[in-house]
Every structure is written in C-alpha cells, then in structure tokens.
C-alpha cells in the first residue's frame, strides 16, 4: 500500500496538491489542534482550564476519558442545578457535557449562566466556545468579543476568535487574532498551530509548514501539533518525511495509528486531485484551546 501511494503523490503536480489542500486541511481543522494519537481517547481541550478559571474540582487535572467526564458531570451537575447562577459550576458542568457529546445542553447551561452573570468574562468565554462547538458561529463570535476588552485582552479568547473566523472563511481576520494572541503569549504552540493551519486553508503551504515547525519545536507542544505538521508536509508531497514526523515521540501502536490516519487523509487528497472523488462534507472546525 505504501509503494502504491508514493508514486501517486509524485505524479500529482504542485497545483493539484495545492488545489486539494483546503479539503484535507479543513478536515484536520475540524478538530483544531485536536488530532488525537489514535488508540487512546483524548479530548480537544478543557474549557475550564483554558479560560483560566480557578478549579475547585477535587480532581487535580481535567479528565481524559468519557468515564472521567461523566464523573465531573455528576459532581458539578447537582451544584449547578441548585444554583444556576454559580459561574464555576456552570462552566465545569458544561465542560463535561461538551466532552461527552451533549453540545446543545452545554450551550443551554452556559446561556443561562451568561444571563445571570452578564459581565463574567469567563462565563462569556465558555459560552462562546460552546456556541462555536455547536456551529452557531455568529453568536459565538459575539460572545467571545464580549469575553474580553481591549484594555484587558486574553490570548485564549483571541485564539478561539481566530478559530471561529477561520471556520467562517475569514482567514486574514483569523490570522490577525492569532498574531494578537502571540503578542500576549509569544511562541504559544496552540496558537502557532492554529495560525499554521489557517495559512494552509489559504493554500499557503510553505508558510504553514514554517509556522507549524516553530510550533512543534516548543517544549510544551502537544503531539497533536506534530500531527498537524505531518499533515501539511504530506500535502506538499513529502510523505516519507510526514510519516517520520507523525510517528515521533509516540509508542509504536499509536504511531502506526497516526500514520494510518495520515495515509487516509492524503489518499482523499489524491482521489480528489485525480477527479475520482467529489469533495466530501467538511466538518465544522472547533474553537482552539
């Protein structure tokens, strides 16, 4: 299978690869910075932690399994129902709901909390993230805009705004938000990775690769950042190098699963470039962490 794919990629001209970039990178952006190491159940970020809310959850870290998120839901759900104005409970409860797939309910919880806490920036930020997750982009952008002020900006909110703008097709606006976030938090790998994917969505693959390499070089970069880099390198036709990047720093089983995912994505690019497949439905990207 590997021998068959490499010649096919060499036959593609650069214009064909660039033509397919938007399709394949959009699929990657469907889980902005959330391409998991396959074989283990991971999450796409913790709203509570990413918005800087002091955590009162007795667990020291955010859950990373469905059972853990359900436990968090069981802890915070009753507290929220007892007082729907409790901002901390609302955010933690909605966070758990979102991670088990109950996005509409998470939006409803945070909508109520935002009405009762109209000036609470953390609630507004979480509400905006939940709306973006549910595909309600214009409402998400409005909530995120109200979640911080020019005199007190939050790089996490700017990053989330950029992700929403990218989903709306406003890539240059998104990139301005990412750069503003980087002014506040230089070399933050999650923002750099989002910026790199945004460039890729504009078919600027070389620029995307440069930024994603900078993101992957950061000590705090998560494995998913390297997977985004591997995807862009693969889109440029360097599949062997993409394989090496995708398998770095991972146990063999997870490395093989990530390479299989990469092959699947690039096979879609080849089929689309060759005219054998119409562009499939591209899932909506989520706001970055």
Higher pLDDT residue, 68 or 150? 68
The percentage of residues in the chain with a pLDDT greater than 90, rounded to a whole number, is: 50
281 or 187, which is more confident: 187
pLDDT digits (tens, 9 = 90+) for 253-288: 777 777 787 777 777 666 555 554 433 322 233 464
Q: What is the DSSP string of 1-14?
A: -HHHHHHHHHHS-H
7 Cβ neighbours under 8 A, 6+ residues apart: none
24 three-class SS:
helix
pTM to 2 decimal places: 0.73
Tell me the per-residue pLDDT of 154-170, one tens digit each, with 9 for 90 and over. 999 999 999 999 999 99
pLDDT of residue 61: 56
Answer whether 207's CB lies under 8 Å from 176's CB. no
Average pLDDT on 18-46 reads 40
Among 44-53, 59-68, 93-102, which range has the highest average pLDDT?
A: 93-102
CA dist 64 and 75 (Å) reads 16
Q: Which two tokens stand for residue 89?
A: 């409970």
Nearest one of 270, 261, 277 to 27, comparing CA atoms: 261
Whole-number pLDDT of residue 267: 72
Coil, helix or strand for 126?
A: helix
3-state secondary structure 135-154: CCHHHHHHHHHHCCECCECC
Cα separation, 18 vs 88, whole angstroms: 45
Confidence class for position 62, pLDDT limits 50, 70, 90: low
Q: Which two tokens stand for residue 252?
A: 């063999």
- Does residue 205 have a pLDDT over 80? yes
Percent share of the chain, pLDDT over 70: 70
Read off the pLDDT band of 2 (50, 70, 90). Answer: very low
């Amino acid at each position: 299978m590997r021998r068959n794919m490499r010649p096919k990629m060499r036959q593609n001209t650069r214009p064909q690869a660039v033509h397919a970039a938007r399709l394949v990178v959009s699929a990657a952006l469907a889980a902005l910075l959330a391409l998991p190491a396959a074989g283990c159940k991971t999450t796409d970020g913790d709203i509570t932690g990413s918005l800087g809310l002091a955590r009162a959850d007795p667990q020291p870290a955010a859950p990373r399994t469905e059972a853990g998120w359900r436990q968090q839901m069981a802890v915070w759900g009753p507290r929220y129902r007892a007082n729907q104005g409790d901002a901390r409970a609302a955010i933690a409860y909605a966070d758990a709901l979102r991670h088990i797939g109950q996005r509409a309910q998470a939006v409803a919880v945070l909508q109520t909390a935002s009405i009762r806490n109209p000036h609470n920036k953390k609630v507004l930020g979480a509400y905006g993230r939940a709306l973006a997750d549910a595909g309600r982009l214009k409402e998400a952008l409005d909530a995120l805009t109200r979640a911080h002020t020019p005199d007190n900006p939050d790089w996490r909110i700017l990053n989330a705004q950029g992700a929403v703008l990218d989903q709306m097709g406003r890539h240059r606006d998104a990139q301005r938000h990412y750069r503003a976030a980087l002014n506040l938090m230089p070399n933050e790998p999650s923002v750099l990775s989002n910026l790199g994917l945004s460039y890729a969505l504009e078919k600027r693959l070389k620029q995307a690769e440069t930024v994603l390499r900078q993101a992957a070089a950061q000590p705090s970069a998560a494995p998913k950042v390297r997977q985004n880099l591997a995807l862009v390198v693969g889109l440029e036709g360097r599949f062997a190098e993409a394989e090496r990047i995708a398998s770095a720093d991972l146990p063999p089983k997870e490395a093989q699963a990530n390479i299989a995912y990469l092959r699947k994505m690039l096979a879609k690019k080849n089929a689309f470039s060759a005219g054998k497949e119409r562009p499939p439905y591209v899932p909506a990207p989520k706001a970055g962490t």
